[in-house]
Amino acid sequence: MLKKICFLITATLGFISLNAQPDSLNVLWHKIGAIENSNHQLWKTNNELISKIRLQQKTIDTLLKVVALNKINIQQTSDSLGAKINTTENVSNQNYSKLDSIINKHTLLGVIAFLLAAMISGIVYYLLNVRRKDDKADVINQISKTKTILEEEQVKVYTKIAEIHQSQLDMLKADRTVNNKAIDPDHSLAKKIADEMVKMQMNISYMDQSVRGLRQLKIALTNMHDNFKANGYEITELLGKPYHDGMNMEASKELDLSLRSGDQVIRRIIKPEILFNGNNIQQAQVIVAYNE
């Protein structure tokens, strides 16, 4: 087809060249040369495409053969796996049957053994729990007895201290009577006695009221307070009282969630507030419990 087209073009150009002028004829021959070159390039390209198509066709044929061979291998592998799976399934069924038989034979013995072990464990736990409760009760009783003994000894010591301070207050009163013209009396002994009195009051507030000698100690503290007042001193009652910010005392605070929200209570007294003839001679230092 391409040759026919080239022949027609050549014939047409030849006819034109017979009737054309010399200059026009040269132009035409130049164009004819260009067309022939293009035609040659097209012919060459066409041959290259044909070669590539043939090569690709060979490649496709080879791939088709490989696919067919793989298909055969896959089928053979599938058949082989199917046979192996059937064999494995038969063996598994046989093993399951044997295992089921063994389990059925030993299930009853296993249940009995488990029940016996559970029963024995329960009995041992019960005995240990009873023993632990008895031991715990013994420990609690021992602690309670020890606490009572210690509190009784503490009451005895506080009673002796109260007697000593009572004597000191009597001597202080006598000294003030003799030296009643003293303008600036020494308050160091009064402050020391007041600190001891408040400390004893705080400690006995935590004691069991049935502790031996506690009632006599409270009477002794009451007498000390009366003697303290007789010397012109007064200790402000602060323990357990509500606290308000801005009170004339040094306060350290500690959180206590057992209190109601917003409450502040004086929990402990480090140093009591002491008045002498109505004048403050010692500022209080306290611990305040609060809840936000």
Is there a domain that residue 287 lies in?
yes
Look at residue 272 in the predicted model and tell me its pLDDT: 95
Look at residue 171 in the predicted model and tell me its pLDDT: 84
Look at residue 46 in the predicted model and tell me its pLDDT: 61
Look at residue 135 in the predicted model and tell me its pLDDT: 65
Number of domains in the chain: 1
Beta bridge partners of 274: 235, 282
Look at residue 96 in the predicted model and tell me its pLDDT: 45
Look at residue 143 in the predicted model and tell me its pLDDT: 79
Is there a domain that residue 280 lies in?
yes
Which residue ranges of the chain lie beneath pLDDT 70? Answer: 1-36, 38-43, 46, 49-50, 53, 56-57, 59-61, 63-122, 124-136, 178-184
Is there a domain that residue 281 lies in?
yes
Is there a domain that residue 292 lies in?
yes
Could you tell me which of 248, 253, 283 has the C-alpha nearest to residue 268? 253
Look at residue 24 in the predicted model and tell me its pLDDT: 58
User: How many residues are recorded in the chain?
Assistant: 292
Cα-based distances in Å from 238 to 115, 272, 289: 66, 8, 13
For residue 249, the tally of other CB atoms under 10 A from its CB is 19
Look at residue 7 in the predicted model and tell me its pLDDT: 52
Is there a domain that residue 252 lies in?
yes
Could you tell me whether strands 249-255 and 284-290 are parallel, antiparallel, or unpaired per DSSP bridges?
parallel
Is there a domain that residue 289 lies in?
yes
Pull the structure tokens for residue 11.
């014939």
Per the structure, the complete domain to which residue 250 belongs is given by 236-292
Look at residue 99 in the predicted model and tell me its pLDDT: 46
15: left (phi over 0), alpha (psi -120 to 50) or beta: alpha
End-to-end CA distance of the chain: 107
Longest pairwise C-alpha distance within the chain? 170
Is there a domain that residue 73 lies in?
no
Q: Which amino acid is at 101?
A: S
Is there a domain that residue 175 lies in?
no
Look at residue 246 in the predicted model and tell me its pLDDT: 87
SS3 1: coil
Q: How far is CA 92 from the centre of its chain?
A: 49
Could you tell me which of 162, 291, 140 has the C-alpha nearest to residue 218? 162
User: What strands lie across the sheet with 284-290, from one edge to the other?
Assistant: 249-255, 284-290, 264-271
